Copies of this chain bind each other. A is one copy, B any other.
Amino acid sequence: MSRIAIIAGQGALAPAVAACLDDPLVFALPGFAPDGLAATTFQLERLVPFLDDLHAKGVTRVVFAGAIRRPRLDPEAFDPRTAQLVPRILTAMQSGDDAALRTALDIFEENDLTVCSVSEIAPDLIPEEGILTGEPTDADRRDAGRAARILAQTGPLDLGQGAVVAQGLCLALETLPGTAAMLDFAARHADLRPNPKGARGVLYKAPKPGQDLRIDLPTLGPDTVDQAVSAGLAGIAWAAGQVILLDRPEMVRRAQAAGLFLWAAGGLD
Using a CB–CB cutoff of 8 Å, the interface residues on chain A facing chain B are 69-70, 72, 94, 96, 149-150, 153-154, 156-157, 159, 168-173, 175-177, 181, 185, 188-189, 192, 194-195
Contact = CB atoms under 8 A, between A and B. Distances in A.
A189 B176 contact: yes
Contact of A181 (B149, B153, B157, B188): B188
A194 B153 contact: no
A177 B153 contact: no
Contacts of A169: 96, 176
Given A153-B154, A154-B157, A192 B176 contact: yes
B157 A177 contact: no
B175 A172 contact: yes
Contacts of A175: 170-173
Chain copies in the assembled complex = 2
A66 to B, nearest CB: 17
Contact of A194 (B69, B156, B185): B69
A24 B188 CA distance: 38
Contacts of A69: 194
Given A153-B154, A154-B153, A185 B177 contact: yes
Contacts of A94: 168
A70 B168 CA distance: 13
A157 B170 contact: yes
A99 to B, nearest CB: 11
Contacts of A188: 177, 181
B194 A189 contact: no
B181 A185 contact: yes
B194 A70 contact: yes
A153 B156 contact: yes
A31 to B, nearest CB: 14
A96 B175 CA distance: 22
A159 B164 CA distance: 12
Nearest to A69: B194
A177 B189 contact: yes
